[in-house]
Chain A
Amino acid sequence: MARITIPSRKASGPDKKGVPARLKFYVDVKRCIECGGCEVACKNEHNVPRDIARIRVVTVNEGQPGETNVSIPCMQCSKAPCVSVCPVDALFTREDGIVHVNKDTCIGCGYCLYACPFGAPQFPKGSPFGARGVMDKCTYCAGGPTEEGAHSEKEFRLYGRNRIAEGKLPMCASICATKALVAGDAEEIANVVRQRAAARGSQGRVWGAGTAYGPGA
């Protein structure tokens, strides 16, 4: 019997205290059903304004064979292009891999939007001539960029709740309808992906296998 079950019901691995985590998202496109749960959960948790989509499900080949859905939050890139291009250093990467934006520093130039491969940076509407306002994005549910303001009213208003500090994972992945969107330490995610690949007969049906090993992989 293949061992794959919903990982939530598994005990966590051995204590690896002291090894820094590398926090990641992973979207299993063989699982994402475009239900929009992640999008709504994000709004519910962080009180995100109507015009901001910190996470969005994208569907390709809609209504035809090959129809595929991908839920796309900020992917928390290890070498984040947004961080590289930010002219005022408002963006930075935390020790655990979370990419933060400091809204007190951000000037809303939108340069990060050019750099981001996933369309993660968001700019509030509602002012004349579509003025951008400062950038908003998925926080990996880690609240604001500074420790001083943790759990403050200001942090909630600008960034939303700080689940990571409470030891909880991002809300979108926590409630994902089919466990398509997975969040956590990259190593744990790799284990989940391996288990699923094994259960599926390991026919290279993992998202990205085609790119890595050529078409037909």
Chain B
Amino acid sequence: MELRRVTQGESQNAGHSWLGKLNARIDRRKFLGAAGLGIGLASVGATLVREAKAVTTLAPGETTQIKTICGNCAVGCGFIGEVQEGVWVSQEPWFEHPINQGSLCSKGAAAREHVISEKRLRFPMKKEGGKWVKLSWDQALDEISAKLLEIRKKDGPDALMILGSAHHTNEAAYALRKFAAFWGSNNIDHQARICHSTTVAGLANVWGYGAMTNSMNDIRNARSILIIGENVCTSHPIAMQHILIAKEVNGAKVIVADPRFSQTAAFAHQHIRLRSGTDVAFIYGLVNVILAKGWEDKKMIRDRTYGFSDLKKELKRYDLKTVSDITGVPIKEIERVAKTLAENRPGTVIWAMGGTQHSNGTSVTRSYCVLQLVLGNMGVPGGGTNVFRGHDNVQGATDLGVLSNTLPGYYGLSPNGAFKHWANVWGVEHDWIKSRFANEKMNGKVGFTVARWYEGVLMDSEELGQEQNVKAVFYWGHASNCESQMDRVKKALEKVELLVDIDPFVTTTSVMPDRPDGVYILPAATVYEQSASVTNSNRDIQWRNKIVDPMWESKTDLDIIIRLANKLGFGTEFTKSGGHINKAWNTSDPEKLVEDIVAEWNMGMRTIGMVGQTVKRMKRQQRLAHTFDVKTKTAEGGEANGEQWGLPWPCWTEKHPGTHILYRTSIPVAKGGLGFRARWGPKAPDGRTLLAAKGSTPVGSSIQGGYEEMPAWKTDLTGKVFEEAIAKGLAPYGNGRARFKVWNFAKLGGDDVPKHHEPIHTPRPDLITDWVTYDDVKDHYRVPTLYKSLQKAEWVKDFPVILSSGRQVEFEGGGAAERNCEWLVDLQPEMYMEIHPALANDHNIKHGDWVWVYSPKDTDERDSKIKVKAKVTRRVSSDMVYLPFHWSGVFEGKDLSDQFPEGYIPFAIGESANTVTNYGYDRITQMQETKTGLCRIEKA
């Protein structure tokens, strides 16, 4: 492959002319003489590895080394990009990076190809008369904005749906949410909805914040590790480094609970093959054993939790025989796991999509919290709920509110609360923001989600929670093949008047709909072509440097957002900060622009303490990476002495070190200590206290016991409230109790204490009576959502096989970037379906045979089907099949190659798993139930 780079439409073939120009050469003869020393590097040694230089301009022909952060998963690995004359020529390990210490997985090792792939989008295009036509940026944005204004006039602001991205930088994510507010709609959402929305809602309602409580590095302190519904080797490979060190050094016991014998299970002491979707029952089995043996942490339960008696009442339904029947796990194994966890504390629980993508997902994630509270594993190093988030900035995009149910910082949508606070930060009149919305009701109403936005297009408008149908949709760094019910998505993409797909590569969204026009493709820059901040899974906010300028004619997300705001007529209001900053953004210099936006979110994000992470501090940490200890993530000595790597939020002030471990009372607030958040006032509706008991406070607290949140802590932009609280050893958000019982969920129709419910498409119809799902909901994120009426006992007769989906290590998300990368496609060139030898033989299917997979009709009148190759393996049990979800380019057996613009067919295409994943959505967040469904298989 040749290295190509084109700017302003001119092509320049850099070829390999950089050879022989690399600096810091060592003569080979001289080198061999010193080999005994130099080669002492053993995997590693930093002695002869060139220290990464600061980003300075070198003489032409020389190599510049630039530290950056990987743009794939949320582990947040660092690496060094080497640039020659503006061309990214190679990658080097960044050994001093505290999280990955130089390590990369296949995706990270292929980062360079994301930028230099010959499949990168070169210029804006639109579909006209069934053909793709090249456009200039101006023309494209003129046409798009004219159409948007026309739709706005005709149907109102809620006729636009924006699907944002977990690959946006923090600043782009923040700007996009601001953009939606200025446009006047809450119809904006992103991947977090279908990845960890149930975790965020679950955890936030248990103890205050919906985020990973400890960190990847902190796993090194664990003595037991329960990995449930997550395949670390595949989804977060570098986190395995910390898990394996805990296993080797601490002798930590590793337990993997997964319906598959996953790659990670191969490293476990015990593998539990539970039936998909039965996590709550399994966890309650463990909790029942722990309570029966008296292994619980009585002090934690008594002093720092609420609703234990309600939990105990629910636990009575889960005797071990029942649990074993529901989960398929033998009683002895349940007892053994409980014993291991009780005897090896502190222990951590790790989960991902296997835990979240269920119709009772919010209860599943809460049940994991129950286990950790009962074991007393919260607020301690080596413990916690280590939620592994998916994309590189899904935590940041969630924090910054690219969601239909909140503004940035989880402030919610209250027109006179949340919008007032943010209008203040944005420096616009509160009434002006309100006037942008259809009316005050829509101003405060949650919007459509990623999971079901398409029903806003397809359903009769009278069934919807808004007056008009959706007429325009933006897919901005988002893959439509990640959404279940893909045949419905396809129909919606065909029906909208305007479809805009913004991505570095051609995605499923542009090629799946059968339509001759009305589709625009805008080339976005990759994450390596812009400097900005990014938040990893464990709340570390890292500075990611630009490696090269945007390739071809691609533009950064921020650039596109601002251009659109200008064209839509609110550019001036949009590009300024209010509060004490009170000035316009510097839109002429991309680096300064990002700094201005960081300063703005520093000012507004009070709730989660995204306050002290200034650009200056982030850049300083990058320079001082080597001063941070790997196990504690704390800088020892030097300029950053005492700081936590990544200044994990809450980082209350510019002097605060960041909070590595949430809810840890053994250190003062000033050093990252906290109690549980007092989020629901001093008393529950039943009159019981929600404030922590006497003696349960962070060290150095001036109040001995629980206390309410500080007045105005969420809206005071000056920082005084935080400073005064910290000086007194108090947490601005109070000191409350973790809730086993969440009455507000019950009010919505969900579970008060977490409960097992059979999946909508259950393979065990005999369990429906006792473990039935929820009632149907009429207005659920503006669409009706079915539960009981779709949970039919007869599904399993025609669709007897459990269908589950997941990841493969080489690809991520919708896979648009990775399937356009030769190096990765080489490792995994084809879509496949995992099937057990017994099930395969029952259907006369041999390894490599083509197989049709059919899914139930659900709400529409047609079966969905896909044609995939069988991979016969014992990884799966004999009652299920497993599909990786990254594929697209083939739809129900039909090759979509001719729908791609010429030259843009990816190196690999395949059927999308989500064409056949079933209907089913979480009761609280509308997470799709893609981990448990039913299907029928047939040899093709």
Query: Which chain B residue has the least Cβ–Cβ distance from A43?
Result: B823
A104 within 8 A of B: no
A103 within 8 A of B: no
Residues of A within 8 A of B822 (CB): 50
Residues of B within 8 A of A17 (CB): 33-34, 36-37
Instruction: Report whether A165 and B37 are in contact in the complex, using a CB–CB cutoff of 8 Å.
Output: no
Residues of A within 8 A of B704 (CB): none
Residues of A within 8 A of B261 (CB): 63-65, 67
Instruction: Report whether B46 and A8 are in contact in the complex, using a CB–CB cutoff of 8 Å.
Output: yes
Question: Which of A40, A50, A168 is within 8 Å of B109, CB to CB?
Answer: A40
Residues of A within 8 A of B79 (CB): 175
B855 CB to closest chain A CB (Å) equals 25
A189 CB to closest chain B CB (Å) equals 6
Instruction: Report whether B263 and A33 are in contact in the complex, using a CB–CB cutoff of 8 Å.
Output: yes
Q: A7-B45, A63-B874 are in contact. Are A40 and B37 (CB under 8 A)?
A: no
Residues of A within 8 A of B106 (CB): 35-37, 39-40
B101 within 8 A of A: yes
Which residues 265-288 of B have a CB within 8 angstroms of A? 265-267, 271
Q: A37-B106, A177-B237, A179-B241 are in contact. Are A47 and B39 (CB under 8 A)?
A: no
Question: Which of B36, B47, B826 is within 8 Å of A50, CB to CB?
Answer: B826
A16 within 8 A of B: yes
The CA-CA distance from A112 to B238 in the complex, in Å, is 35
Instruction: Report whether A188 and B31 are in contact in the complex, using a CB–CB cutoff of 8 Å.
Output: no
Using an 8 Å CB-CB cutoff, how does the interface string of A159-174 with B read, 1 for contact, 0 for none? 0011011111100011
Instruction: Report whether B40 and A188 are in contact in the complex, using a CB–CB cutoff of 8 Å.
Output: yes
Q: A165-B28, A166-B25, A174-B93 are in contact. Are A151 and B20 (CB under 8 A)?
A: yes
Using an 8 Å CB-CB cutoff, how does the interface string of B30-60 with A read, 1 for contact, 0 for none? 0111111111111111111110000000000
Instruction: Report whether B824 and A40 are in contact in the complex, using a CB–CB cutoff of 8 Å.
Output: yes
Q: A167-B26, A183-B42 are in contact. Are A12 and B47 (CB under 8 A)?
A: yes
Which residues 35-58 of A have a CB within 8 angstroms of B? 35-41, 43-45, 47, 50
Binds A, one of B243-251, B436-444, B541-549: B243-251
A17 CB to closest chain B CB (Å) equals 6
Instruction: Report whether A21 and B43 are in contact in the complex, using a CB–CB cutoff of 8 Å.
Output: no
Instruction: Report whether A12 and B40 are in contact in the complex, using a CB–CB cutoff of 8 Å.
Output: yes
A33 CB to closest chain B CB (Å) equals 4
Using an 8 Å CB-CB cutoff, how does the interface string of A193-215 with B read, 1 for contact, 0 for none? 00010011100000000000000
The CA-CA distance from A48 to B238 in the complex, in Å, is 24
Instruction: Report whether A184 and B45 are in contact in the complex, using a CB–CB cutoff of 8 Å.
Output: yes
B382 CB to closest chain A CB (Å) equals 14
Using an 8 Å CB-CB cutoff, how does the interface string of B222-235 with A read, 1 for contact, 0 for none? 00000000000110
B16 within 8 A of A: yes
Instruction: Report whether B102 and A174 are in contact in the complex, using a CB–CB cutoff of 8 Å.
Output: yes
Q: How many A-B residue pairs have CB under 8 A?
A: 252
Instruction: Report whether A16 and B102 are in contact in the complex, using a CB–CB cutoff of 8 Å.
Output: no
Query: Which chain A residue has the least Cβ–Cβ distance from B237?
Result: A35
A84 within 8 A of B: no
Instruction: Report whether B249 and A96 are in contact in the complex, using a CB–CB cutoff of 8 Å.
Output: no
B835 CB to closest chain A CB (Å) equals 11
Query: Which chain B residue has the least Cβ–Cβ distance from A192?
Result: B42
A18 within 8 A of B: yes
Instruction: Report whether B113 and A13 are in contact in the complex, using a CB–CB cutoff of 8 Å.
Output: no
Query: Which chain B residue has the least Cβ–Cβ distance from A53?
Result: B826
B22 within 8 A of A: yes
Residues of B within 8 A of A105 (CB): none
Instruction: Report whether B35 and A20 are in contact in the complex, using a CB–CB cutoff of 8 Å.
Output: yes
A138 within 8 A of B: no
Q: A40-B824, A151-B22, A151-B25 are in contact. Are A63 and B38 (CB under 8 A)?
A: no
Instruction: Report whether B251 and A201 are in contact in the complex, using a CB–CB cutoff of 8 Å.
Output: yes
Instruction: Report whether B42 and A189 are in contact in the complex, using a CB–CB cutoff of 8 Å.
Output: yes
The CA-CA distance from A92 to B326 in the complex, in Å, is 63
The CA-CA distance from A8 to B938 in the complex, in Å, is 51
Other contacts beyond A9-B101, A37-B237, A166-B26: 11, CB < 8 A? A7-B43, A8-B101, A34-B809, A64-B261, A96-B35, A164-B28, A165-B28, A176-B103, A184-B44, A188-B39, A200-B248
A-B residue pairs in contact (CB < 8 Å), sample of 17 = A6-B241, A8-B46, A12-B41, A16-B37, A17-B33, A23-B39, A33-B263, A40-B109, A44-B91, A65-B261, A150-B28, A156-B16, A166-B26, A169-B41, A173-B44, A175-B79, A201-B251
